[in-house]
């Protein structure tokens, strides 16, 4: 059986699969539907210092081969996360990556410091790419100097935790932001977050979502994501020796393999979980089958192997 284990910034994962932040709640929601230990790591929904109730309804709308969401970083806040959710995450017996959000650097640092000594947490994923709130970090994700500044500030507060910076595709040149995050001390990069998008109700002449715009996810964005992963891999991550967690429309094992070949070491599954949480089993097994058929003994042989 091929070896599926990968190493992300010094964290050993049994396989590259993880949940994409915001599509998996806080651990226990999918317990009835799939054994989450099929994953290599668990990535939580965004946590901010104060609880956030999120945007008004409607928050989601389906599109061709995808969906828009504008949830607005609804979350229970840091205090309840520590009290109520960390114990549930401990039961998963998986490395946990916590996605952190904020409106200014102090917010991010406060969440970072609070998680520095939590054992089950192995890494933080810095959300500087949420397109759905007015001050939700995207301002840090679209300007290279700001990206470096916040990465550096958060990295200094991380303690034992590794720092993953999650990149927005809503920029002219994603490699510039990737390079800025690396300069700030990022241990890994994750990409892509959703693409800002709009669906219009032609009868009312209004956007369908209450937030007017939302983030496009699902199979529709996969080719964009694969391309961006490959660009960041070749131009930034590989030269710097930093791993990429690839995401954006992964639904099947073949999708996952495209990301691996393009240069992703980790793989996050998001929208597909809404349709069938057990898709991670098929994805894992298809990767295994592919490696066996191609005579590979380790998944590392195909990471970045695009010709």
Partner 1 sequence: MMLLLCCHFCGAGFQPALFFCAAMLYNVPMCTTDKTRGVFAATVLENRPLCDEHYLIRLQTPGFPATEAGQFVQLQCRPNAIPDAIRVVDWTDDAPPKLTGGEIADGEPLLRRPLSLAGRDGDILDIIYRVVGRGTGWLQRAAAGTELTILGPLGAPFPIPDTISQAILVGGGVGIPPMLYLAKALNAAGVQTTAICGARTAGLMPLATDDSGQSVEFSARGAHSILCTDDGTLGRGGLVTEPLAELLAAADDPAAVAVYSCGPEIMMKYVGLATTDAGAQCFLSLERSMACGMGTCQGCIVKIKDDSERGWNYKLCCSDGPVFPAESILWE
Interface characters, 94-133, with partner 1 (x: CB under 8 A): ----------------------------------------
Cβ(128)–Cβ(140) under 8 Å?
Answer: yes
Q: Does 62 bind partner 1 (CB under 8 A)?
A: yes
- How far apart (Å, rounded) are the C-alpha atoms in residues 80 and 51? 8
Q: Are 27 and 89 in contact, with CB atoms under 8 Å apart? A: yes
d(CA 55, CA 52): 9
Min dist CB 207 to partner 1, Å, is 14
CA angle 7–13–17, rounded 5-degree value = 105
For residues 154 and 99, give the distance between their C-alpha atoms in angstroms, rounded to a whole number: 12
Phi first, then psi, for residue 218 (nearest 5°) are: 100, 180
Tokens 């057990």 belong to 278
CA 25, distance to chain mean position in Å, is 13
Residue 50 interacting with partner 1 (CB under 8 A):
no
Q: Which is nearer to partner 1, 69 or 168 (CB)?
A: 69
66 or 136: CB nearest partner 1: 66
| Contact window for partner 1 (CB under 8 A) among 28-36, 167-175, 181-189, 231-239 | 28-36
- Active site annotation includes 296: no
- Which of 285, 297, 298, 305 touches partner 1 (CB under 8 A)? 285
Q: Cβ of residue 294: shortest distance to partner 1, in angstroms?
A: 11
Should residue 67 be labelled a site residue for partner 1 when binding is judged by CB under 8 A?
yes
114 Cα distance to chain centroid: 21
> Where on the chain is the footprint of partner 1 (CB under 8 A)?
1, 23-25, 29-30, 32-35, 38, 53-54, 56-62, 64-67, 69, 71, 74, 218-219, 251-254, 257, 271-279, 281-282, 285-286, 288-290, 292-293
């Amino acid at each position: 059986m091929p070896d599926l284990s990968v190493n992300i910034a010094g964290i050993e994962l049994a396989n590259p699969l993880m949940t994409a932040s915001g599509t998996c709640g806080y651990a226990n929601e999918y317990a009835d539907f799939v054994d989450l230990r099929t994953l290599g790591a668990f990535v939580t929904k965004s946590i901010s210092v104060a609880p956030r109730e999120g945007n008004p309804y409607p928050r989601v709308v389906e599109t061709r081969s995808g969906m828009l969401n504008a949830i607005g970083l609804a979350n229970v806040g840091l205090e309840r996360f520590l009290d109520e959710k960390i114990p549930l995450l401990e039961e998963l017996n998986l490395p946990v990556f916590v996605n952190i959000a904020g409106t200014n650097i102090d917010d991010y640092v406060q969440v970072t410091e609070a998680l520095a000594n939590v054992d089950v947490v192995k890494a933080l994923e810095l959300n500087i790419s949420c397109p759905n709130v007015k001050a939700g970090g995207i301002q840090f994700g679209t300007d290279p100097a700001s990206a470096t500044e916040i990465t550096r500030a958060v990295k200094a507060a991380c303690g034992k935790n590794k720092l993953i910076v999650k990149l927005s595709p809503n920029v002219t040149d994603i490699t510039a932001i990737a390079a800025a995050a690396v300069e700030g001390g990022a241990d890994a990069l994750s990409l892509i977050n959703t693409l800002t998008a709009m669906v219009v109700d032609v009868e009312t002449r209004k956007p369908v979502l209450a937030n007017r715009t939302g983030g496009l996810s699902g199979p529709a964005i996969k080719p964009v994501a694969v391309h961006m992963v490959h660009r960041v891999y070749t131009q930034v991550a590989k030269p710097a020796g930093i791993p990429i967690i690839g995401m954006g429309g992964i639904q099947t094992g073949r999708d996952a393999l495209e990301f691996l070949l393009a240069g992703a070491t980790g793989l996050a599954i998001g929208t597909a979980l809404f349709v069938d949480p057990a898709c991670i089993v098929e994805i894992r097994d298809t990767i295994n089958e592919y490696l066996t058929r191609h005579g590979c003994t380790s998944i590392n042989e195909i990471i970045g192997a695009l010709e």
